[in-house]
Amino acid sequence: MVTAEEIVCCEALPLLSLNHISLLCRSVRESARFYEHVLGFVLIKRPSSFDFNGAWLFNYGTGIHLIENPSLAQNEIEPEPRPINPKDNHISFLCSDVELVKRRLQAMGMRYVTAVVEEGGVKVDQVFFHDPDGYMIEICTCDKIPILPIASRIAGCSTCSLPLDKQLRRADNGGGIASGRGSCGRFLENVMMESLSLDMMNFSF
């Protein structure tokens, strides 16, 4: 087993972006309908070599891959609705109008709970609900909270020790963050790209 110390001493994997989220479901048809009509995903072609029932959907820069698991439907009894717990595992999407989201969910007859996160005077609205298999979905305005790197993650870097405005100016001049030299430079570059991606992923119902 790899220890935490061994992981810290290694460079992170050369990832590009989140590609897709894969979910087991009782009914591909029912789940695909949910992700299409409730969340606005679009069905796309999946490899014809697959010998199992499933569906691929895409929107907002990422994919949802559904895999039908017959064992989930065996001896199925209509379950009691699971409590909606915001602290449960979940997939989160940004939106531009939480109130409109809530009205749409009410019109669909879907149960949901709301929460508010406050940070430095900024309020983030959250709406939580379940998909047909009980997977948690969050719709939020989390882009209101700036993405800031943890100081300990970038300690010891001359660029990262500068105020953020000076870091960005250095990046504009072709050094530090923009050049991606060193692990912290790549880290900050990734943070900036993630922030840009979040802005581009905003959607409205």
Catalytic residues: 138
Q: What is the CA radius of gyration of the chain?
A: 21
- Distant-in-sequence, close-in-space partners of 36: CB < 8 Å, separation ≥ 6: 42, 43, 57
Cβ(202)–Cβ(94) below 8 Å: yes
Cβ(75)–Cβ(97) below 8 Å: no
The CA distances from residue 24 to 43, 112, 119, 134, 170, in Å, are 17, 22, 35, 11, 46
Cα dihedral angle (26, 31, 33, 38), rounded to 10 degrees?
A: 150
Cβ(179)–Cβ(157) below 8 Å: no
